[in-house]
Amino acid sequence: MKTALEMKSEENNVVNLDDFVLQKQEAKFPLQPIIRFLVREVNKQKLNYHQLKYIFKTVRAKCNIDVGNKAKRLIELPSEEELAIFFGAIKNPIHRLIFDTLIGTGLRVSELCSLEIKRLDLSNNQFFVHEGKGKKDRIAIVGNKLKEKLELYLQGRQNRYLFESTRHTRFTTRRVEQICKKYKKLSGIDKNLTPHTLRHIWNTKLATLGLDKEKRALLAGHENDKTQEIYTHLGIGGFKSDVIKIMDSQ
């Protein structure tokens, strides 16, 4: 038999779901009239996403509302020696070219998988990335060494997408991640190495060899007011040769 004290203790440890729901509703309640007002105004004014985003950004600035800083994690990238071992473990030439392209252009793996051949402009050392992350279009720059590899690979091919399986379907993000995991395991590298890691390595190389933050953000598809200004007044052509030189430096 349980004592009265034990039974009381158990009661104190029980979560009352009704109380939880009530507390949640009370927490939301003061915001509901504001939300309803905003919904009416957005529908009335027919505001789009970008207009609404601008409104909240302006209100936040005028009210001095601090966004707060997210904790930043340091990313330990593979060394040059470890990368050489990783690429050395890749015997399939198409798989190797996939990772050469990721590390040589900074494309997201999803962008690479959906990249159609018609959007390649190798004569001008560039790709047109159509509707990348956030449905944004941008230009990716290709170094001469990678360009030569891609031109050789494309000879005689009738692909729709740059990289396709033997069944002529495009690679999925999941499939490229699996392939990368396979070669990482074969190479015995302990550090984190994913397709996205190769994008970090690309960005780091550009930074190390002197390309400034705004230009890197533009190339990576991290658009903000500063990168938009660079695009308008300078354009990719203003620093394309610098990027090509950096990517061909090794």
Has 108 been annotated as catalytic?
yes
Contact assessment for residue 104 and residue 202, using Cβ atoms and an 8 Å cutoff: yes
- 3-state secondary structure (DSSP) of residue 129: strand
Q: Does the annotation mark 199 as catalytic? A: yes
Catalytic residue among 130, 153, 205, 231: 231
Given 145, 196, 200, 205, which residue is catalytic? 196
Check 53, 133, 191, 245 and give the catalytic one: 133
CA angle 215, 105, 126 (to 5 degrees): 80
Of residues 184, 199, 215, 216, which has the active-site annotation?
Answer: 199
**Known active-site residue 40:** no
**Residue 110 contacts residue 173 (beta carbons within 8 Å):** yes
User: Hey, is 158 helix, strand or coil?
Assistant: coil
Query: Among this protein's residues, is 54 annotated catalytic?
Result: no
Number of H helices, E strands in the chain: 13, 3
Place of tokens 């904790």: 71
> Identity (one letter) of the amino acid at 118?
K
Q: Which whole-number Å values give the CA distances from 76 to 64, 165, 187, 190, 201, in the listed order? A: 35, 32, 17, 11, 10
Q: Would you call 183 a catalytic residue per the annotation?
A: no
196 is catalytic: yes
User: What would you report as the CA-atom Rg of the chain, rounded to the nearest whole angstrom?
Assistant: 25
How far apart are the C-alpha atoms of 53 and 61, rounded to whole Å? 12
Query: Catalytic residues, which ones?
Result: 108, 133, 196, 199, 222, 231
